[in-house]
Structure 1
Amino acid sequence: MTETVHESTSRPSIRQLPRNVWAVGFTSFFMDISSEMVINIIPLFLANVLGVQTSIIGLIEGIAETTASVLKLFSGWLSDKLGGRKWLAVAGYGLSAVTKPFFYFASSWELIAGVRWADRIGKGIRTAPRDALVADSVTKETRGLAFGFHRAMDTAGAMVGLIIAAVIVWLAQANNLDLSKSTFQTIVLLSLAPAFLGVLSLAVGAEDVAVEKKRALPRFSLKNMGKPFNIFLVIVSIFTLGNSSDAFLVLRAQNLGISVIGILLMLVTFNLVYTLVSTPAGSLSDRIGRRRLIVGGWLVYAAIYFGFALAQQAWQVWVLYVVYGLYYGMAYGTANAMVADLVPDDLRGTAYGTYNAVIGLLAFPSSLIAGLLWQGSGSWSGFGPSAPFLFGGSLALIAALLMVIWMPKTGMQS
């Protein structure tokens, strides 16, 4: 079955969003309950239980995203070729769900890395078709609202998952600074049910969108996607090189004395801000333009990262991480909406695959650089926990400046 996009002349609201957007939203809600219960404490498990160095943690996180990158590109291209997005997305979510139980048995960083990478393969399969399905299902006038709503549902799930994890940590080990193995295993077990509910939500609730004409076999070509999209990719690449894994923010919080339960509650508050900001920010981008929201979000990001570099007390990290939700709410969903603004409709899947692949490929050097900067000592004078945040904040400022002076207005809202 297929779903047809309908034009609407009334003021858009989330109640008017089509079934596909709601189905994708609930899938992300359930999957993020599962993922956020586990993913945010993996760096703590690696550091506290297995005694892994930050350079190895950076390597794991970097390869995890890089593993998914080529698949993001291929799955997006394939969804354009097939003219269908749903079942590729379902397959990707399904793979991530079936790999999660293996975290329970992890007793070495190599096994953690293997499961993490398998999970990211699932993300690589699903991300581009899922985003293209959302873009296919709405009009240009409601694109920002749809992606903002999707981010809000995704983040609301993350918040619920973190609350569940925080309750488990509190009951199992109270306010201990380090995470225990048994607590980690309990959280993994309870994360399995929402993961499979997420897969079911998409399989049952979504339908591929009807197209007006038969899709030609797409040929991957950056030239075919247009100059504005290529410039956007270059600017995003500069920003992403300094956007290391959030694992380093978690480690920085622990470095300044925040306990495991404190970190989880901090992340809950961050996701609350992210959830509250995403939908109105997406709707605002439909009215005033994507670029302004993205530039504003990147400037907030730079200020936060500089703050992380200078922070000396735990309460400062808490405040900064909560405000970090403002950056995500402003820029993340808005950037996804901009991709659809910049490319022809029949290349959306390929464009989302390319965009996500670039981000994924750069996640490896960005996280590896962050790990090395953090760990630097001895002859590397001045390196340490502050260094990766100074690096990331500086690149965010450069990217924001380039977005203002270099990003053309053609094919997008200013």
Structure 2
Amino acid sequence: MYLTDRSAAPAADTGPGRRRGLRPGVTPVVLVLGTVSLITDISSEMVTAVLPLYLVTTLGFSPLAFGTLDGVYNGVSALVQLTGGHLADRVRNHKLLAGLGYGLSALCKPLLLLAGSIGTLGTVLALDRTGKGLRTAPRDAMISLSTPIAHQGRAFGVHRAMDTTGAMLGPLAAFLILSAAADGYDAVFGVSACVAVLGVIVLVLFVPGRRRDPPTDTTDMTGEAGGTGEAGEAGGSGARPPVRVREALALLRLPQLRALACCAALLGLTTVSDAFVYLLLQRRAGIGEEWFTLLPLGTAVVFLLLAVPVGALADRIGRHIVFLAGHLGLLTAYALLLWAPATPLLVPLVLALHGTFYAATDGVLPAALAGIVPEHLRASGLAIVGTSQALARFCCSLGFGAAWTMWGDGPALAGSAVGLLCCAAVAGLVLRPARRIRRPPPQPDEQQGPT
């Protein structure tokens, strides 16, 4: 099983990514969706930045209870991604499903003001992640289908950079609100709800609506691609029947997609959630609680700076190489948290590696699917791979929280580091590029055969 991470498609250069005034692979759809994600991430990261400290310090949750909620926060969206991706392909309206997801998440933000128990918080977070699960695959499908195959890494890099700008501004806004407001957490949740509504408005007004059916599908089930998504959709006259569940599940017959989904899940099983990384870094470096909300800001700055160049690099040298290199960077961050002395350099080094990990994986993973999944099943394919990764991270959150509670944070992180090293080695074997053995042409005497 091998991952096809580069595709030669000459026609792609004449697609929408070549419009005047835009760099290759950066279409208006990418920019508008990036703006929506930027606004929405300000809202989401305001909550994410304060949630670990709010639950552990203010409400007194144990690491196991927090790990359970964090697992719910990430795991529910994984299950819903399959539904969102399939429905988007079935109704052929990615904007509709994405809008429903963004709207549901916006409605959940003010409900955090009323939640005080683990059951209520779990319900609200599950609904919020349901919205994220509904919107993720349709949104990424719109990006992928509007972008030439050769520039998928760059396009997703631009989107993730704009998304990360919001992730950078969200913790900063939360820090300023906590510093100025008397009821800081309530103020953070209220402002977050207002910002989330703004993101929904931008999506409704500026993102193009229903996409037209392509006259032919130039991507077959073997992963060979020729079209450029929306460029091939204009002028289609034949309507494709609704996508059935059986047709979406048949994507698992593609060896390349199976390999990618399995490796994403394998690596996700040992990827400690961001919240735990920040809690470990705070304890290891002795950071005061008032500065805790700024830790995600460091990750976001590095992600923002590297998302586009790393995405473009993945287009050139191979997306599987960059994807695995990002996990090795995360492994180095684990090692620093375990064994490095508590010097002033520890915090920037760990945050730099953490941001590099996201720059090398978050947009590169969906970009790798462009040459594998047919256009009319693109959202379903993205959902399958995204779900496998998110479910694995859900299990990691539960396991890491339980290990921390029973044995302490050091042994728990050491176990994750050893597991990540083993999983990265296996993934490197599975995703390695196929090596074609060139046999020399037969000599004249060999062509004549034995005498």
Please give the TM-score of this superposition, normalised by the length of structure 1: 0.88
Deviation at 1:88, TM superposition (A): 0.2
For residue 106 of structure 1, the aligned residue among 111, 115, 121 is 115
418, 422, 431: which is aligned to 1:398?
Answer: 422
Match of 2:385 among 355, 380, 403: 355
1:212 aligns with 2:241: no
Q: CA deviation at 1:345?
A: 2.1
Shift of the 364–351 alpha-carbon distance from structure 1 to 2, 3 Å rule, reads same
Q: Which amino acid aligns with 2:212?
A: A
Cα-Cα RMSD: 2.2
How far is the alpha carbon of 1:323 from its aligned partner?
Answer: 2.6
Q: Which residue does the alignment assign to 2:315?
A: 286
* 1:73–1:350 contact (8 Å) kept in structure 2: yes
| 1-structure distance, mates of 2:426, 2:21 | 32
Partner Cα separation in structure 1 for residue 278 and residue 181 of structure 2 = 20
- Residue 370 of structure 2 is matched in structure 1 by 340
For 2:362, what is the secondary structure of its paired residue?
Answer: helix
Identity of aligned residues (%): 30
2:302 equivalent to 1:273: yes
Could you tell me how far 1:109 is from its partner in structure 2?
Answer: 2.5
| Structure 1 Cα separation of the partners of residues 24 and 36 of structure 2 | 17
From 61, 75, 83, the equivalent of 1:74 is: 83
Corresponding residue of 1:240: 268
1:57 and 1:281 map into 2 onto residues whose CA distance is: 33
> C-alpha separation between the residues in 2 aligned to 1:105 and 1:366?
28
Counterpart of 1:309 in structure 2 is 338
Q: Deviations over 1:54-77 (max 9, x none)?
A: 001111111232222222101111
Mapped pair 1:185 → 2:186: yes
Task: Look up the equivalent residue of 2:277 and give its one-letter code.
Answer: L
1:347-386 map, 5 Å: 347-376=377-406, 383-386=407-410
Q: Using a 3 Å threshold, how does the CA distance of structure 1 residues 328 and 264 change in structure 2: closer, same or farther? A: same
- Give per-residue Cα distances to partners, 1:143-162, cap 9 Å, x unaligned: 11110111101110011111
| Aligned equivalent of 1:54, options 63, 75, 89 | 63
Mark the CA change 1:342 to 1:373 in structure 2 (over 3 Å): closer, same or farther: same
Give 1:172 deviation, angstroms.
Answer: 4.8
- Equivalents in 1 of 2:253, 2:310: separation in Å? 26
Code of the residue aligned with 2:240 in structure 1: it is: R
Which of 315, 326, 330 lines up with 1:297 in the alignment?
Answer: 326
For 2:331 and 2:419, locate their aligned partners in 1 and report how far apart those are by CA, in whole Å: 8
1:15 Cα deviation (Å)?
A: 8.0
Offset from partner CA, 1:204-248 (integer Å, 9 cap, x none): 111143331333424232555510110111111111011132111
- Whether the 8 Å CA contact 1:309–1:389 is kept in 2: the answer is yes
* Structure 1 counterpart of 2:214, one-letter code: E
Q: Is this contact kept in 2: 1:75–1:124, CA < 8 A?
A: yes
Further displaced range: 133-142 or 341-350: 341-350
Find the counterpart in structure 1 of residue 444 from structure 2. none
Q: How does 1:24-63 map to 2 (within 5 A)?
A: 24-63=33-72
Gaps of 5+ in 2: 1-13, 216-238, 435-451
* Residues 280-325 of structure 1: CA deviation (Å, up to 9, x unaligned): 1111111221011111111101111122223553742453123310
Give the whole-Å Cα distance in 1 for the aligned partners of 2:146 and 2:298.
31
- In 1, distance between residues paired with 2:15 and 2:93? 18
Give the letter for the 1:322 counterpart: A
CA distance in 1, matches of 2:21, 2:211: 20
Which segment drifts farther, 15-24 or 244-253? Answer: 15-24
CA shift for structure 1 position 197: 1.2
Aligned match for 2:164, one of 128, 151, 155: 155
Given that 2:278 and 2:295 are in contact with CA atoms closer than 8 Å, whether structure 1 keeps it comes out as no
Structure 1 unaligned regions, length at least 5 = 174-181, 377-382
Match of 1:388 in 2: 412
User: Does 2:33 align with 1:21?
Assistant: no
C-alpha change, 1:15 and 1:33, in structure 2 (3 Å) is farther
1:12/1:142 contact within 8 Å kept? no
- The secondary structure found in structure 2 opposite 1:342 is coil
- Whether contact under 8 Å (2:17, 2:23) holds in the other structure is no
Deviation for aligned residue 1:255: 2.4
**Do the aligned partners of residues 18 and 209 (structure 1) sit closer, same or farther apart at CA in structure 2, a change above 3 Å counting?**
farther
In 2, the alpha carbon distance for the partners of 1:278 and 1:48 equals 33
Query: Deviation of residue 131 (structure 1)?
Result: 0.8
Pick aligned residue for 2:130 from 91, 109, 121:
121
**Could you tell me the TM-score, scaled by structure 2's length?**
0.81
Q: CA deviation at 1:271?
A: 0.7
Alpha-carbon spacing, 1:163–1:223, altered in 2? closer, same or farther (3 Å): closer
**1:142–1:101: structure 2 CA closer, same or farther, 3 Å change rule?**
same
Which structure: larger Rg?
A: 2
2:322 maps to amino acid: L
> Do the aligned partners of 1:222 and 1:230 also contact (CA within 8 Å) in 2?
no
Q: 1:92 and 1:29 mapped to 2: Cα distance?
A: 15
| Alpha-carbon distance in 2 for matches of 1:149, 1:348 | 20
1:93 to 102, 111, 117: 102
Is the CA contact (8 Å cut-off) linking 1:240 and 1:366 kept in structure 2? yes
> Conserved in 2, the CA contact under 8 Å of 1:132 and 1:349?
yes
Letter in 2 for 1:258: I
Q: Once structures 1 and 2 are overlaid, which stretch shifts more, 136-145 or 216-225? A: 216-225
Instruction: Report if aligned partners of 1:236, 1:399 keep a CA contact under 8 Å in 2.
Output: no
Letter in 2 for 1:197: L
CA distance 1:307–1:293, shift in 2 (3 Å): same
Per mean C-alpha deviation after superposition, the further-off stretch among 227-236 and 258-267 is 258-267
Shift of 1:268: 1.4
